[in-house]
Amino acid sequence: MAPAAGTQLTAHTGYLKPDLESPMRIISANLNGIRSAYKKGFHDYLAEAGADIVCVQELKAQEADLSAEMQRPHGMHGVWHCAEKRGYSGVAVYSKREPDQVQIGMGIPEFDAEGRFVRTDFGNLSVISLYLPSGSSAEERQQVKYRFLDAFYPMLHDMKHSGRDIVVCGDWNIAHQNIDLKNWKGNLKNSGFLPEERAWIGKVIAELGWVDMWRTLYPEAPGYTWWSNRGQAYAKDVGWRIDYHMVTPELAANARSAHVYKEQKFSDHAPLVVDYDYPF
């Protein structure tokens, strides 16, 4: 059972011996409904993906809706933060090792009610699954998004200066640069590519010092992770890169490679996979 929002849980610390030969693989995937994604083969994908940690977003399920396989896929440990509203939002982290500490929620009621943040700690490593609000449905939601950005920035500052190795995985709902979406000229006034949003994520990188892992590894590769369901966006690869691994510099220096998994389609997003030379 997941603890209440904003609480911390001390758990098992008897870890297996780290495998120093193989990289630590972390996957981030917006599922747009975990039950739908499982019907499309996501559970089978996890069996073959070789992930040590999997961060998922948009569970669109309550805890009671999560089957045993969804709670502990292939024996992995699971922690989740479901939204109060049914069929909406929600995040989770699955890991081969049980975390020694868990934080459910940001400690901000407005956002915790929507199930947008869960953090897992393993020694000096912290892995966060994040689902940043979208503002595309209405101006009211755009204002919620701006409030989230204002609240999350100091949290990113504090985490960056904590001395821990941290990766914030998830759907940030912002494309940073022109290369990050196919039709950038046509989206300059749309949520997800507004000047204020792009400036904010630019400050996270340039001023706070977080590393956008994909763009650092592959400066010239678009790396799209989301495609509209309208028209032929997926078939024509008219996508957006809005799913990130944002990483502290020391951990980022150990990144080996990354890829976007498109051999199967589980949702309107594709899993973002990054391998790190880091003991786990």
* Binding-site positions for Mg(2+): 30, 58, 171, 173, 268-269
Cβ-Cβ contacts under 8 Å for 183 (sequence gap 6 or more): 238
- Three-class DSSP category at 206: helix
Instruction: Kindly state the tokens that stand for 2.
Output: 């997941």
Picking from 186, 157, 193, 189, the residue whose alpha carbon sits closest to that of residue 172 is 193
Picking from 225, 228, 207, the residue whose alpha carbon sits closest to that of residue 215 is 225
**Which residue is it, tokens 């009671």?**
64
- DSSP bridge partners of 91: 57, 81
Question: E strands, 68-210, where?
Answer: 77-81, 91-95, 101-104, 117-122, 125-131, 165-171
Task: Determine contact, residues 192/174, Cβ cutoff 8 Å.
Answer: yes
Task: Determine contact, residues 239/182, Cβ cutoff 8 Å.
Answer: yes
What is the C-alpha to C-alpha distance for residues 59 and 87, in angstroms, rounded to an integer? 8
Task: Determine contact, residues 176/203, Cβ cutoff 8 Å.
Answer: no
- Catalytic center residues: 131, 171, 269
Upper half-sphere CA count for residue 165 (Cβ side, 13 Å): 15
